[in-house]
A and B are shown apart, each in its own frame.
Chain A
């Protein structure tokens, strides 16, 4: 199943709407609640990043029985040095973003922690693409 959402840069009032919708869908599909939490925490961090840094973005969630694959494509300033951006504590967030309770340079590392695979590509002055992959319904017994 594929679901698409638009995200508006700078609009903090609605930041998290897409993550919230996707969480509801995952719950309806009876995905394990620990898996849901990992997916939506990573997704919410990524959605907030679009709102905080980009002009606009599109989230495409591809859900099947064994994995959730989410693509976030934004039009924005891009990330000049992804390795640096991945470092805990590094942030270019504005004071407005910090007032919202974010911008501490923790989002990208937390997205990596909560996903099984994460890919980031970026072109400066064009935008950033983030792919988040979480394997679900993996039996541990």
Chain B
């Protein structure tokens, strides 16, 4: 599914990486623990997290994750945006819960990693 489609499906806000919205993601992983994210080997992965800090963006960078959705109305900082732009990562803010985001995306065909 294209990142642009995810944004409109969730009615979420794309904070940066608009020009990368046509990229496809196939799998989703939801965690506030970056250590868990760093154990994954999956490509084309979407990260859903409530942890809005630099390390979430760094973790995505190291793991080749093209897109992060920050749930529960967590706000992305300017520093996070700069890190994300440098690494071609799309950041999305979503005002509702992690559960709701997962429910919608799962129904739309985003697959679990395991």
Contact = CB atoms under 8 A, between A and B. Distances in A.
Contacts, number: 67
A101 B53 contact: yes
B48 to A, nearest CB: 13
Chain A facing B: main interface SS: helix
A135 interface: no
Given A13-B79, A44-B58, A101 B64 contact: no
Interface in B57-87: 58-59, 61-64, 79, 86-87
A110 B61 contact: no
Interface stretch (B19-27, B28-36, B95-103): B28-36
B55 A16 contact: yes
Is the interface on chain B under 10, 10 to 19, 20 to 34, or 35 or more residues? Answer: 20 to 34
B107 interface: no
A48 interface: yes
A101 B62 contact: no
A45 B39 CA distance: 10
A15 B38 contact: no
Given A20-B87, A44-B62, A110-B39, 4 more contacts: A16-B62, A37-B62, A101-B59, A107-B35
